[in-house]
Amino acid sequence: MPEQPARTAYRVALVIITIGTVMASTFVASYTIALGRPEPRRVPTGLVGEPAAHPALIETLQEATGGGLAFHPYPSAPAAAAAIGRQQISAALVLGPGRPQLLIASASGASLALVLERAAERVNEQLAPESAPPLRIVDVRPLPPNDPLGLNSFYVAIAATVLGFVTMFQLRQHAPGLSLRAWLASIGVLAAGGGLALALVTGPLLHALPAPLPAIWAGIATQITVAALFNSTMLVLFGRWAIIPTWLMFIAFGNAWSGGAVAPPLLPRIYAFVGRFMPSGAAVAILHNLAYFRGAPQVEPFVVQACWLVGLLVALVISVRVKRRRPTGRPVD
């Protein structure tokens, strides 16, 4: 008789090991495909001047980027630079008068700026290997010294995400008596307190993101809330297995597709598109906008995050009523 429980335990252990291995493999595959192969993909690029006067330069630049630049005409260099500041385009090629210039913006994505710089270097090597380089690189919106790679918003978003869903697992384990109302109140306290703590570390203490403290606080608190609500809903629906959808949503796919580590124009197109509408992608964009594009922030990530916040709150309440089970695992009274 003791053999049967032992076999069951071994079977459960094997299932858990298999699931863990698949989750880790998914993580590696997702990050390798998304982050390990950055290539320009229809990067919106302004074009100032007459391209017919510089056919070799444009052809060589397109070859250096794998044909990844999508040109849009602009009347002047200041107009193109202003469009970069409004995040309407990611770069601009200015063809005269004088020496041609490639306008880039590290603040729009350091990884993209680096790819464009290397492409410009290839152009200069091929067109003027022994003379003055024909293409000059100008960074019209550089990153500050304390965030040279533009990754701080990505790191902060990860911290907020982990704080949100890990705390929910701990609440389930150590505070099983919480009612739904108390659970939601705990999420509110976590978002306010945890968001303030991360904002203080990010802002006044380390000066990692040059943005007003209240704005950073709100952005971080929102991501904490979204991660906590998603995990809470999964706890109601799947119980102890909630780690699987949460891991896939925020870690395996969400972070890799967020555009935080690699700029969206360098991601596979489906990754870049879907990542815009995932909580992690919206959170990274919000924090990055608040830090480097306060004058012309993108509206889309704020709308996306608001939809996730409201939608997940509704989903959690409905799940509790349908399943008659709280996030703690205990039945509704």
pTM: 0.92
Torsion sign, CA atoms 27, 304, 231, 160: positive
Listed residue (183, 215, 182) closest to 196, CA to CA: 215
Token reading at 158: 């990860």
Phi, psi of 142 (to 5 degrees): -75, 160
Token reading at 249: 């949503």
Q: Where are the domains of the chain?
A: 3-35+147-323, 43-139
Torsion sign, CA atoms 151, 154, 156, 159: negative
| pLDDT score, position 1 | 47
Please tell me the total number of residues recorded for the chain in this structure: 333
Instruction: Inform me whether the pLDDT recorded for 118 exceeds 50.
Output: yes
Phi, psi of 332 (to 5 degrees): -70, 135
Amino acid at 276: R
Task: State pLDDT tens for residues 252-264.
Answer: 999 999 999 999 9
Domain 43-139: top CATH class? alpha beta
Q: Are 47 and 72 in contact (CB under 8 A)?
A: yes
Least confident of 35-49, 153-167, 216-230, 309-323: 35-49
Adjacency order of strands within the sheet including 91-95: 69-73, 43-49, 91-95, 101-104, 136-139
The winner for highest mean pLDDT among 18-27, 30-39, 224-233 is: 224-233
What's the first-to-final CA gap in the chain, in angstroms? Answer: 38
Task: State pLDDT tens for residues 126-137.
Answer: 887 656 668 899
